[in-house]
Amino acid sequence: MHSYFKKQPFWDTRAIVYVSSPAPQFAAHYGFVHPLSEAMTAILSCGLSIEEFREFGNNISSSDFHILQKEAPILPLSY
């Protein structure tokens, strides 16, 4: 796991997959953590409005957090 507040980019040569299967090799790429506050501030500063915001106790994009889903969630795993 990595810090939610990580400023340095992630670097990897595996494809990003949202299923439990192994990730195939891929061209080198970078990824960045975008805290929710940064995303919402960017949306609002452009004049857009948020009509609904929901949180989920399960991870809707991956099975990597199945260990966290065995217990009642203490933090949202998806928005």
- Residue 4, pLDDT score: 81
pLDDT in tens, the chain (79 residues): 678 888 899 888 887 776 677 778 888 888 888 888 998 999 999 999 989 988 877 766 655 555 555 666 667 777 7
- Residue 46, pLDDT score: 95
- Residue 64, pLDDT score: 58
Please name which of 41, 16, 35 lies closest in space to residue 27, comparing C-alpha atoms.
16
Q: Both ends of the chain: CA-CA distance in Å?
A: 19
Q: pTM (2 decimals)?
A: 0.52
Cβ atoms of residues 53 and 79 within 8 Å: yes
Within 8 A by CB and 6+ apart from 16, the residues are 23, 29, 31
Give the Cα separation of 60 and 24 in Å (integer): 21
- Residue 12, pLDDT score: 86
CA atoms lying within 13 Å on the CB side of residue 63: 4
